[in-house]
Amino acid sequence: MEFVSRDSYIQYIERYGLHRKKGEVNMAITAARRDKLKKRVLLVTGVFPPGIGGMQKYYYHLCRNTGHRMTVLAPIYGGDETFDRGQAYKVIRRRFLQLETIQISSWPRLLYHTIATIRTEKTDVTIYGYILIGLIGLILQLFFNKKYVVSVHGKDLLEFRRFWGVHLLCKTILRRADGVLANSRYSKRIVMDYGVDERKIQVVYPGVEAGFDRGEKAEELVAKHDLKGKYVLLTVGRLVKRKGHDKVIQALPLIVEQVPQTVYLIVGDGPERQNLERLVEQYGVREHVIFTGSLADTEQLRQYYQTADTFVMTTRLLDDKGDVEGFGIVYLEAASCGLPAVAGRAGGVAEAVLDQTTGLLVDPTSIEDIATAVTRLHQDPVWRESLAQAGYRRAKISFQYEQIVSKMDIFLESVCAGEAVPIGEESTVKL
């Protein structure tokens, strides 16, 4: 049992201005006990804001909402000094941490700076935001008995299976970890395939930012893109193969045949941009596709969600690369803004979009399936709104970061206490 010292108790009485009434005394004792349970946590990650992306958002909100004392070792980005000043936790920037790759020559520096930060911050447990970076945690555990947790996202679990030596290293890193944070049950199952005890794995879903909500169509965007009277499809995400933009473009002729007023908005940028633009010309749908580029601002992004009618992102598994969507934060953002989703049945997407309940899951390689799902939603607006309402309720009840991160906090406390104890993954929601 944790006992609270008299000094800690008095500090809380003074801080909150409480009198010695029974309920207030109990509250002060509870708060003091909670403060004593706070841990010093270090996150070592190759992706973090102000960089743009789902993982960046994920780690940002874990740090923002945790009840523990967080420090972040992160990459250097343009504008990061301004960003860091606005945070309630310390962010230490290092140039050799960049995207999920670290040059071999940089590993000694990563080890040095991780050790230095752990010593300076008196860290209780370190979270490594990428499996291979977890090698540092393994080394520090073996030589200094330091606790470490690995955060996994699905894609990182599959991409090394083709390389025997690296796969064996990843297996060792995961098995030796004091705990594993998985972004979905799908990712959790893959971790278990590595031979990791289920009791060491905590599912911590991505959540949705409070800024995403239902609202009227943005008149400025309607005018800018000539969307009045149009059936607007929307995809938000990096322009990479697994996201499925290409299949939606290929399905557009079939969709336009049934719904001539269809417009497809593509928000994001990436290496597939030119290929997708060529595909638009090849399929003769230039008048129906709009590329907006990247949008870093939540307010702008929210307006695009609110201006659309259906969210479409038919992600697929790229077997040759082990590239897969471990969950898909954008599906929750869309749901929070009142959009049903047409999504690919692959990876952890089925946990973000409940088939026939909050959206439709399709074969992500079939343009016929995609076209049929999109046109069905257009032809039945009552059903479309029913799916949208169910998705909205689920996003608002089960995927708010405050409750999601509280599960991580409790899990980290159990790791520090010597035995990882995962707790439930999602509240039961009547849809």
Q: Report pLDDT digits (tens) over 289-346.
A: 999 999 878 899 999 999 999 999 999 988 766 577 889 999 999 999 999 999 999 9
> pLDDT tens digit string along 4-32?
444 543 443 344 444 444 444 444 434 44
Same-domain check for residues 111 and 80: yes
Q: Is residue 29 part of a domain?
A: no
Rounded Cα distance between 351 and 345, Å, is 10
For residue 304, give the 3-state DSSP assignment.
helix
Same-domain check for residues 182 and 56: yes
Same-domain check for residues 344 and 320: yes
Nearest alpha-carbon partner for 114 in 89, 135, 83:
135
Tally of domains within the chain: 2
DSSP 323: B
CA 68 to chain centre: 20
Same-domain check for residues 195 and 50: yes
Same-domain check for residues 187 and 259: no
Q: Is residue 160 part of a domain?
A: yes
**Binning pLDDT at 50, 70 and 90, where does residue 425 land?**
low
**Binning pLDDT at 50, 70 and 90, where does residue 2 land?**
very low
Same-domain check for residues 79 and 225: no
| Partner residues linked to 191 by β-bridges | none
Indicate whether 428 pLDDT > 80: no
Q: pTM of the entire structure?
A: 0.85
Same-domain check for residues 126 and 151: yes
**Binning pLDDT at 50, 70 and 90, where does residue 429 land?**
very low
Domain that holds residue 223: 219-397
322: left (phi over 0), alpha (psi -120 to 50) or beta: left
pLDDT confidence of residue 295: 87
| Mean pLDDT calculated for residue range 253-270 | 97
Rounded Cα distance between 304 and 338, Å, is 12
Average pLDDT over all residues of the chain: 88
Percent of the chain with pLDDT over 70: 87
Indicate whether 281 pLDDT > 50: yes
**Binning pLDDT at 50, 70 and 90, where does residue 160 land?**
confident
pLDDT confidence of residue 154: 82
pLDDT confidence of residue 85: 95
Indicate whether 232 pLDDT > 90: yes
pLDDT confidence of residue 161: 77
Q: Is residue 13 part of a domain?
A: no
For residue 364, whether the previous peptide bond is cis, meaning omega lies within 30 degrees of 0, is no
Contacts of 115 (CB under 8 A, 6+ apart): 140
pLDDT confidence of residue 426: 53
pLDDT confidence of residue 100: 54
Same-domain check for residues 407 and 351: no
Same-domain check for residues 328 and 276: yes
**Binning pLDDT at 50, 70 and 90, where does residue 162 land?**
confident
**Cα atoms in the Cβ-side hemisphere of radius 13 Å centred on 223:** 3
DSSP 430: -
Q: Is residue 409 part of a domain?
A: yes
pLDDT confidence of residue 164: 85
Contact 99, 71 (CB under 8 A): no
Contact 244, 270 (CB under 8 A): no
pLDDT confidence of residue 431: 53
Both tokens of 6, joined, read: 């008299």
Same-domain check for residues 240 and 202: no
| Mean pLDDT calculated for residue range 350-364 | 97
Same-domain check for residues 72 and 196: yes
The CATH number of the domain where 167 resides is what? 3.40.50.2000
pLDDT confidence of residue 168: 94
Nearest alpha-carbon partner for 396 in 311, 338, 351, 316:
338
CA 65 to chain centre: 14
Q: Is residue 169 part of a domain?
A: yes
pLDDT confidence of residue 163: 80
Same-domain check for residues 363 and 225: yes
> pLDDT tens digit string along 185-220?
999 999 999 999 999 999 999 999 888 999 999 999
Nearest alpha-carbon partner for 232 in 338, 390, 378, 388:
378
> pLDDT tens digit string along 66-85?
999 999 999 998 889 999 99
Pairing of strands 231-236, 310-313: parallel
E-strand spans in 40-85? 40-44, 69-74
Both tokens of 262, joined, read: 């269809």
Q: Is residue 424 part of a domain?
A: no
pLDDT confidence of residue 318: 82
